[in-house]
Structures are given as C-alpha cells and as structure tokens.
C-alpha cells in the first residue's frame, strides 16, 4: 500500500473528509512517526506492529576509513509485526 492508496482508503471510509483533508491527515501522521524515529523513539501500534531504528557499526574494509573521517554509524529502520499478522 502506498501513501496515495492510504489517502484514498481514508477518504473512502470517511466521506465527510475531503480528499485534501485525508491527504493532510496521512501526511501529519507519517511526519509525526518519522520525527519520532529520527529522535530515537520506538513506535508501537497495538494489534499491528512496532517501528524502531536499529543502529549498527558499518561493516567492510572501508569502515575504519569512514570512522576516521567522522561518518556516523549505519542506521536501518525496522518493522516488527504482531504475531498472527504475517
């Protein structure tokens, strides 16, 4: 499901919402989630799953070179589903 699919679904389920309002709601929600992950917080949607950012040191022969130049560790967003959803 893409962002636009989510907007369409929201607008279809709530006919009192204008399409533009549905777009604004989805953007506000995703921006808030993104900001929370950037700040290092974990997001849990009960009954659905959780989002978090996993930090790990870089791998490979250039990792020493990158650390000497001040590059930060690699980050990866992770999503874990609730049991029974997969």
Query: Nearest-5° angle of CA 26, CA 27, CA 33?
Result: 90
* pLDDT digits 0-9 by tens, 42-78: 999 888 889 888 877 666 665 555 555 555 555 666 7
Percent of the chain with pLDDT over 90: 45
Alpha helices in the chain (DSSP H): 3-13, 19-38, 63-68
**Residue 68 has what pLDDT?**
58
Q: How far apart are CA 14 and CA 47, in angstroms?
A: 22
- Residue 9 or 54, more confident: 9
Domain residue extents for the chain: 1-41, 42-86
Q: How far apart are CA 6 and CA 12, in angstroms?
A: 10
Mean of pLDDT values over 25-34: 94
Do 69 and 78 form a contact (C-beta atoms < 8 A)?
no
Mean of pLDDT values over 7-15: 95
pTM summary value? 0.66
Kindly write down the DSSP assignment for every residue of 44-68, as one continuous string.
Answer: EETTTEEEEEEEE---STTHHHHHH
């Amino acid at each position: 499901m893409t962002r636009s699919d989510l907007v369409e679904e929201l607008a279809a389920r709530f006919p009192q919402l204008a399409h533009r309002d549905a777009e604004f709601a989805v953007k506000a929600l995703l921006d808030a989630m993104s900001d929370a992950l950037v700040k290092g917080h974990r997001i849990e949607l009960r009954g659905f799953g959780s989002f978090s950012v996993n930090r790990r040191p870089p791998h490979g022969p250039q990792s020493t070179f990158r650390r000497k130049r001040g590059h930060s560790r690699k980050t990866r967003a992770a999503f874990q589903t609730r049991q029974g959803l997969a």
